[in-house]
Amino acid sequence: MTIQWFPGHMVETENLLKKAISKVDVVLEILDARLPRASANPFVNKICKEKFRLKVLNKSDLADPEQTKAWLHYFETQKKTPAISICGSQKSQVNGALNYCMDKVNRNRARKLKVMVVGIPNTGKSTILNTLAGKKIAKTGDVPAITRHQQRTSLQNNIDIYDTPGILWPVIEPEERAYILAASGAISDTAIDYNDIAFFAASLLIKRYPELLMQRYSFLKTIPEDALTLIEEIGAARGCLKKGGIINYQKASEALIRELRAGKIGRISFETPEDIDHETEKN
């Protein structure tokens, strides 16, 4: 599956970031802790080479804690890149990320520290900004690409922080990365096929998180052997049926993806550092 979802404002955002990056001191690159690699936009690497950048693995409360630790270790040892994991609604954790940056940047204390927040859609950038400000100043929601324009907010301690629209890239490849992004909610539902995404997610859950499946879906007697069986059992139990008791795969798929995104199945990670090693072996 090749996903193409690149709203017009994303082109505008790329141009905006190119111009604005020279004026800031620090870049907070917000990643989804469940998919730290897939949620990293290659464009950010190109424009942030000369700036101090902290990778912030947000939504850590939804991610597999062991895999989050593994990712932090990966960034520190393999990429030599500073990284921290947070839950964007927890003020102490968000402040901790900001303070980390303040300690790493040499600047004239008499002028404001300018911090830019970047990342792909739906990683929680606006939530982080609201937490820092202590009030709702940016729109938030489960729909990706809510923020459409750059927003500047002045914080205490002589800091200006800039929230930018989430940007993807025109063609998302490889295929697995597209599936991961779609399953997490980073891509608009209008650009995906729920059946395809649900089959991908069901296969991943069966392989990596069978215990969580059994806990969430108590009607399961055993771990399903394949994705189709899992979706059929969810459909039957959730009443996702057509006339004659036939499974409505579309509704069953939507039910699975909704619960997965909301964290109702448990704390899961869509990818691990080991996946990178396996890809390298294949290549």
Q: Which residues of 6-32 are buried (b: 16+ CB within 10 A; e: fewer)?
A: ebebbeebbebbeebbeebbbbbbbbb
Pairwise CA distance, residues 232 & 253, whole Å: 9
- In 3D, which of 209, 225, 226 has the Cα closest to residue 264? 209
pLDDT of residue 144: 41
Question: Both 198 and 242 in a single domain?
Answer: yes
Question: Both 47 and 153 in a single domain?
Answer: yes
- Residue 257's domain is classified under what CATH number? 1.10.1580.10
pLDDT of residue 13: 64
Contact by Cβ (8 Å): 202, 231: yes
Pairwise CA distance, residues 280 & 283, whole Å: 5
Q: Is residue 197 part of a domain?
A: yes
Question: Both 12 and 136 in a single domain?
Answer: yes
Mean pLDDT of 47-74: 94
Q: Where residue 67 falls among pLDDT bands split at 50, 70, 90?
A: very high
Q: Residue 142 pLDDT more than 50?
A: no
Point out which residues pair with 114 in neighbouring strands.
160
Q: Is residue 281 part of a domain?
A: no
Question: Both 145 and 199 in a single domain?
Answer: no
Q: Which residues of 111-146 are buried (b: 16+ CB within 10 A; e: fewer)?
A: ebbbbbbbbbbbbbbbbbbbbbbeeeebebeeebbb
- Residue 21's domain is classified under what CATH number? 3.40.50.300
- Tens digits of per-residue pLDDT, 150-202? 678 888 888 999 888 777 766 677 889 989 999 999 887 766 788 999 999 99
Task: Compute the mean pLDDT over every residue in the chain, rounded to the nearest whole number.
Answer: 86
The domain total for the chain is 2
Pairwise CA distance, residues 114 & 68, whole Å: 28
pLDDT of residue 166: 78
Structure tokens at 98: 């900001």
Question: Which DSSP string do the residues of 166-226 spell out, in sequence order?
Answer: ----SSB-SHHHHHHHHHHT-S-GGGS-HHHHHHHHHHHHHHH-HHHHHHH-TT-SS--SS
Pairwise CA distance, residues 166 & 186, whole Å: 9
Question: Both 74 and 152 in a single domain?
Answer: yes
Question: Which DSSP string do the residues of 129-141 spell out, in sequence order?
Answer: HHHHHTS--S---
Count CA within 13 A, CB hemisphere, residue 58: 30
Sign of the Cα torsion 254, 88, 7, 202 reads negative
Q: Where residue 48 falls among pLDDT bands split at 50, 70, 90?
A: confident
Pairwise CA distance, residues 24 & 220, whole Å: 53
For residue 268, what are the domain limits? 193-274
Question: Both 203 and 155 in a single domain?
Answer: no
Q: Where residue 95 falls among pLDDT bands split at 50, 70, 90?
A: very high
- Tens digits of per-residue pLDDT, 15-24? 777 777 888 8
Question: Both 158 and 198 in a single domain?
Answer: no
Q: Residue 61 pLDDT more than 70?
A: yes
Residue 156 phi, psi (nearest 5): -70, 170
Mean pLDDT of 46-60: 90
Q: Residue 147 pLDDT more than 70?
A: no
Question: Both 124 and 242 in a single domain?
Answer: no
Question: Both 19 and 103 in a single domain?
Answer: yes
56-65, 96-105, 184-193, 259-268: least confidently modelled range: 184-193
Q: Which of 113, 147, 163 is the last residue of a domain?
A: 163
Structure tokens at 92: 């102490």
Q: Residue 269 pLDDT more than 80?
A: yes
Point out which residues pair with 247 in neighbouring strands.
241
Cis status, amide bond into 174, omega within 30 of 0: yes
75: enclosing H helix or E strand: helix 65-77
Q: Is residue 187 part of a domain?
A: no
pLDDT of residue 5: 47
User: Which residues fall within 8 angstroms of residue 107, CB to CB, at 6 or more apart?
Assistant: 25, 113
Structure-model confidence comparison of residues 263 and 112, the more confident one: 263
Question: Both 96 and 145 in a single domain?
Answer: yes
Q: Is residue 89 part of a domain?
A: yes
- pTM across the whole model: 0.87
Q: Is residue 77 part of a domain?
A: yes
